[in-house]
Copies of this chain bind each other. A is one copy, B any other.
Amino acid sequence: MKRFALLAGCLLLAVAQACIAQALASWNDGPAKEAIVRFVTAVTTEDATTFVAAENRIAVFDNDGTLWPEQPLYFQFVFAVDRIKTMAPQHPEWKDREPFKSILAGDAKAALAGGESAVAELVAATHAGVTTDEFETQVTDWLATARHPRFDRPYSDLAYQPMLELLRYLRDSGFKTYIVSGGGIDFMRPWTQRVYGIPPDQVVGSQGKLRFEMHDGTPVLVKLPQIELVDDGPGKPVGMQKHIGRRPLAAFGNSDGDLQMLEWTMAGPGPRFALIVHHTDAEREWAYDRKSPVGRLDRALDEARAKGWTIVDMKRDWKKVFAFQ
């Protein structure tokens, strides 16, 4: 009987290993994949001291640079630029006014030279003054037509294949998966279910104020230009607390903007998991870290190394980056 149990156990283990290999098919064997599987096994093995009830299995993912690229520019910024161009005929005054003038001249760098107030002007012009329903339509329409300049594909084709597998593997292991991004919540929600399998209510992001109004007897929500939450850096634990109300068990990021999210996650009791995607693959994607103006990874890389967090070396750890490669 004992021998049979042992045999059955081995068979089960072999099946489980085969299942994991299948689930994480785009991951090369190595320390990153091993660490992921070890953590998931620890919290899902029922008689282990490390077991965590399914209702507490919360995993949070940054979006830009963690689930899809952020180069050469944040995709949401490209959306805003395209909106400015679309709206320009109704705004002749933009031809002589920054940051719109530079945007229309195709010089994003000059447009952003105005710093925070320039960004605030762009956000107000492109992300406010419309109802939430209208904005959702704008995002959906843009995503259906815009194409990434390097890969000449819709932006939503650029979700990282290994991360899609990881999301599914975690969900199949009883985790509830969330996005916690510095990007705009209303920009992400229209497509996260389709692309990542993450429903709108599991998306946390930067948020502007909303106002309830009646338009001809129909209730609408109007997006206002005032920012309520910048869900980046120390804003990420704040956003998580507001939306999720529980400390995550596992957090996945790629830049210094994710540092406090990772720290907050790791500060809880019991088994925890923190992972950083390090962009090391200029050939298939991009290679950047400490000096990049977009997605800078400096302090968080030091802390990850000091604390033994898992670091994904994109070039070494991922068999493929995108599904189409």
Q: Which residues of A contact B (CB under 8 A)?
A: 55, 132, 176, 185, 189, 193, 199-203, 207, 210-212, 218-219, 221, 228, 234-235, 237-238, 241-246, 260, 263-264, 267
The 8 Å CB contact of A212, one of B193, B202, B219, B237, is: B237
Docked pose: A242 CA to B184 CA in angstroms: 11
Which residue of B has the minimal Cβ distance to A209?
Answer: B238
Shortest Cβ gap from A210 to chain B (Å): 5
Is there contact, CB below 8 Å, between A210 and B189? Answer: no
Is there contact, CB below 8 Å, between A55 and B193? Answer: yes
Docked pose: A264 CA to B246 CA in angstroms: 28
Shortest Cβ gap from A191 to chain B (Å): 12
Which residues of chain B are within 8 angstroms of A201 by Cβ–Cβ distance? 176, 201-202, 243-246
Docked pose: A113 CA to B14 CA in angstroms: 70
Is there contact, CB below 8 Å, between A238 and B260? Answer: no
Which residue of B has the minimal Cβ distance to A207?
Answer: B242
User: Can you list the 8 inter-chain pairs with the closest CB atoms, starting with the nearest?
Assistant: A200-B245, A212-B234, A210-B238, A201-B244, A189-B245, A219-B264, A212-B237, A219-B263
Which residue of B has the minimal Cβ distance to A265?
Answer: B219
Docked pose: A97 CA to B211 CA in angstroms: 36
Which residues of chain B are within 8 angstroms of A235 by Cβ–Cβ distance? 212
Docked pose: A267 CA to B214 CA in angstroms: 11
Which residue of B has the minimal Cβ distance to A238?
Answer: B210
Is there contact, CB below 8 Å, between A245 and B193? Answer: no
The 8 Å CB contact of A238, one of B189, B212, B263, is: B212
Shortest Cβ gap from A18 to chain B (Å): 30
Shortest Cβ gap from A196 to chain B (Å): 14
Which residue of B has the minimal Cβ distance to A193?
Answer: B55
Is there contact, CB below 8 Å, between B212 and A245? Answer: no
Which residue of B has the minimal Cβ distance to A263?
Answer: B219
Given the known interface contacts A219-B267, A221-B241, the answer about A260 and B200 at a Cβ–Cβ threshold of 8 Å is no
Docked pose: A68 CA to B246 CA in angstroms: 24
Shortest Cβ gap from A206 to chain B (Å): 12
Shortest Cβ gap from A8 to chain B (Å): 35
What are 20 pairs between A and B in contact, CB < 8 Å? A55-B193, A55-B199, A132-B241, A176-B201, A185-B245, A199-B246, A200-B245, A201-B246, A203-B245, A210-B238, A210-B242, A211-B238, A212-B260, A212-B264, A218-B267, A219-B260, A219-B263, A219-B264, A219-B267, A221-B237
Which residue of B has the minimal Cβ distance to A236?
Answer: B212
Docked pose: A124 CA to B62 CA in angstroms: 33
Q: Other than the known A218-B267, A221-B237, what 12 A-B pairs have Cβ atoms closer than 8 Å?
A: A185-B245, A200-B244, A201-B244, A201-B246, A203-B245, A211-B234, A211-B238, A212-B238, A212-B260, A212-B264, A219-B237, A228-B228
Which residue of B has the minimal Cβ distance to A240?
Answer: B221
Which residue of B has the minimal Cβ distance to A213?
Answer: B234
Docked pose: A177 CA to B189 CA in angstroms: 19
Which residues of chain B are within 8 angstroms of A210 by Cβ–Cβ distance? 238, 241-242
Which residues of chain B are within 8 angstroms of A202 by Cβ–Cβ distance? 201
Shortest Cβ gap from A109 to chain B (Å): 31
